[in-house]
Amino acid sequence: MKCLSRWTWLFCLLPAGPLLAQPFTHADTLRGSNGPGRNWWDARKYTLQVTVDFTDSSIRGSNRIEVEQLKLGKLVQVDLQEPMKIDSIEVEINSIPRVKRSVIKRKLFMLYPGQFSEEGNARFFQVPDSVTLRSFTVYFHGKPRVAKMPPWDGGSIWKKDKAGNPWMSVACQGLGASVWYPCKDYQGDEPDAAELIITCPDTLSAIGNGRLQEKKLNGNGTTTWRWAVSYPINSYNLVPYVGKYAHFNETYAGLDGPLDMDYWVLEENLEKARSQFKDAPRMIKAFEYWFGPYPFYRDGFKLVESPHLGMEHQSAIAYGNGYRNGYRGTDLSGSGWGLKWDFIIIHESGHEWFANNISTKDIADMWVHEGFTNYSEVLFTEYYYGKEAATAYVTGLRKNIQNDIPVIGPYGVNKEGSGDMYYKGSNLVHTLRQVINNDSLFRDILRGLNRSFRYQTVTSRQVEEYISKRSKQDFSKIFDQYLRTTDIPVLEYKVSGQYILYRYRNCVKGFRMPLRIRCGSERWIRPTGQWQRIKRCGTTEDTLSVAPDFYINTKKVP
């Protein structure tokens, strides 16, 4: 048994026993880390062809994975989850010439079950020495695991619309795209482009990510829809939607020119969508202001009605919020501001910047996706309803924070941290914004993140260091406190004669976040772990009033 990640190696060394239950398996490591079957090649393009069969909820097809070889390697890992089956793998190699100027030969060879090994959901095959791997095409079929509660519990979704027409899609974030198609199911390597070619009954429409290139009637009751994505894309974002769709569109004059905005909705909901989707151009306007240009102009922007609540599928956002404002008609913040806009349009589209443009290499760092996107809701609220509304919204979200486990999860085993990555993540961003205390610089940092890490996969550390560097302040202790512990800083204070004494408790060593307080007028204090004092604001004033924007607790002590 190989131990690949820094979290699992310890458990690999320990003897197995009832008291030493191994929290992660070797299969988790294979799935979540850049192991020896993955680290020597880079996925360049996926060409995913699928035929969707509603009669038995099955999918059949192939994925051609074009490869750039980074260094020498032999073992290739491809992921596909049970009960999906690989029928064969066609491998394309170049022989490396032994003598200079001799001809490079392209060769194809086929592998069938028995010729590739399996371990859990990972399949392995070998390429011979002295060749360059160019591509491999995996032919597959099966009935992908059906989602019980999408999008949280992922898988394929097979439903009927109100008129009885078949309707399907997939939601597979976290669980992984390998639940329905063979791929390199590792977030640190996105294909730089993709094609999604869907064959379905010709009474229905098949929508994919990117641009529609071709729609071909096959003459046998089916139609093939070919969609192309011209940017890097997370494998979980590449998803088909098949149903009885109606279509309308508009062109938005955006920062990078005209942006095609296309909407695909069930025929029965066309009129509702025409009104509800007015939030889409509003969203683009606000987010281009805060984050910079929409990242995928060539591919356009789409909202596609989905049989589940929603997901950030790149350039084809899944929309299933029932044409109501709020989150299924409710306001997660309790402030009332969340009912002014459609949660799914705003939140899932916010991910186009944080998740799709900037992706994390490891889902342990997923707060970068969810924390900033949760904060995009705050910024949307601020753009249209003002700063007070935004503060009410973000502070209102705090009641949803659990502080159960750290926001950042264990690395290398495909494991997310706490669900607090949403609300605590956005409150961390809001708190940092207070410390930066310069909104134009703060906005510049948000835009800079999207520019500097454009189409890249990153770590949380890279994002943290970027923010510290741009704001010329070392925020490392603040990030450690909120992302790597479950403790919320407490500002303790007490009244002593003419003074109020204050200090931090419950903090990581070296935590020194300045705070804005109200004391007659606004002023700043710089608490540490040691008692400090300020003069009482008035003879009757015996509380220390910290601006509510800071996510800390205050406690008066005797």
State which residue, 187 or 373, has the beta carbon closest to Zn ion: 373
Q: Would you give the binding string for Zn ion spanning residues 368-387, x where CB under 5 A is met?
A: --x--x--------------
Minimum CB separation of residue 370 from Zn ion in Å reads 5
Q: What distance in Å separates the CA atoms of residue 8 and residue 25, rounded to the nearest whole number? A: 8
Minimum CB separation of residue 510 from Zn ion in Å reads 32
Angle at CA of residue 379, ends 376 and 383, nearest 5°:
140
State which residue, 81 or 373, has the beta carbon closest to Zn ion: 373
3-state DSSP call for residue 197? strand
| CB neighbourhood size of 209 (10 A) | 27
State which residue, 137 or 321, has the beta carbon closest to Zn ion: 321
Q: What distance in Å separates the CA atoms of residue 327 and residue 343, rounded to the nearest whole number? A: 5
Q: Where are the alpha helices (DSSP H) in 292-366?
A: 343-350
Minimum CB separation of residue 167 from Zn ion in Å reads 23
State which residue, 370 or 464, has the beta carbon closest to Zn ion: 370
Minimum CB separation of residue 373 from Zn ion in Å reads 5
3-state DSSP call for residue 30? helix
Q: What distance in Å separates the CA atoms of residue 231 and residue 476, rounded to the nearest whole number? A: 32
Minimum CB separation of residue 143 from Zn ion in Å reads 28
Minimum CB separation of residue 302 from Zn ion in Å reads 17
State which residue, 316 or 525, has the beta carbon closest to Zn ion: 316
**DSSP string computed for 429-485:** HHHHHHHHT-HHHHHHHHHHHHHHTTTEEE-HHHHHHHHHHHHTS--HHHHHHHHH-
Residues within window 297-326 making contact with Zn ion, judged by CB under 5 A: none
Minimum CB separation of residue 74 from Zn ion in Å reads 38
Closest CA to 215 of 207, 228, 206, 224: 224
Please name the residues in contact with 23: beta carbons below 8 A apart, sequence gap of 6 or more. 11
Residues within window 343-372 making contact with Zn ion, judged by CB under 5 A: 370
Burial class (CB in 10 A: 0-12, 13-18, 19+), 43: buried
Minimum CB separation of residue 233 from Zn ion in Å reads 16
Q: How far is CA 163 from CA 57, 271, 322, in A?
A: 19, 16, 16
Which residue type sits at 308? H
Minimum CB separation of residue 338 from Zn ion in Å reads 15
Q: Count of residues binding Zn ion (CB under 5 A)? A: 2
State which residue, 279 or 370, has the beta carbon closest to Zn ion: 370
Phi then psi dihedrals of residue 261, to 5 deg? -120, 115
Q: Is there a contact between 490 and 552 (Cβ–Cβ < 8 Å)?
A: yes
Minimum CB separation of residue 283 from Zn ion in Å reads 14
Q: Is there a contact between 169 and 338 (Cβ–Cβ < 8 Å)?
A: no
State which residue, 232 or 425, has the beta carbon closest to Zn ion: 425
State which residue, 288 or 370, has the beta carbon closest to Zn ion: 370
Q: What distance in Å separates the CA atoms of residue 299 and residue 301, rounded to the nearest whole number? A: 7
Minimum CB separation of residue 157 from Zn ion in Å reads 18
Q: Is there a contact between 293 and 454 (Cβ–Cβ < 8 Å)?
A: no
State which residue, 121 or 373, has the beta carbon closest to Zn ion: 373
**Strand-pair partners of 65:** 46, 136
Closest CA to 477 of 520, 508, 506, 501: 508
State which residue, 223 or 457, has the beta carbon closest to Zn ion: 457
State which residue, 195 or 370, has the beta carbon closest to Zn ion: 370
State which residue, 453 or 511, has the beta carbon closest to Zn ion: 453
3-state DSSP call for residue 363? helix
Identify the DSSP state of 204.
S
**Strand-pair partners of 266:** 245
Q: Is there a contact between 32 and 179 (Cβ–Cβ < 8 Å)?
A: no
Q: What distance in Å separates the CA atoms of residue 553 and residue 504, rounded to the nearest whole number? A: 10
State the DSSP H helix or E strand holding residue 505, giving kind and residue range, or none if neither.
strand 499-505
Minimum CB separation of residue 268 from Zn ion in Å reads 27
State the DSSP H helix or E strand holding residue 31, giving kind and residue range, or none if neither.
helix 26-32
State which residue, 7 or 343, has the beta carbon closest to Zn ion: 343
Closest CA to 355 of 178, 170, 190: 190
State which residue, 5 or 373, has the beta carbon closest to Zn ion: 373
Minimum CB separation of residue 309 from Zn ion in Å reads 11
Minimum CB separation of residue 380 from Zn ion in Å reads 14
Q: Is there a contact between 213 and 227 (Cβ–Cβ < 8 Å)?
A: yes
Q: Where does this chain bind Zn ion (CB under 5 A)?
A: 370, 373
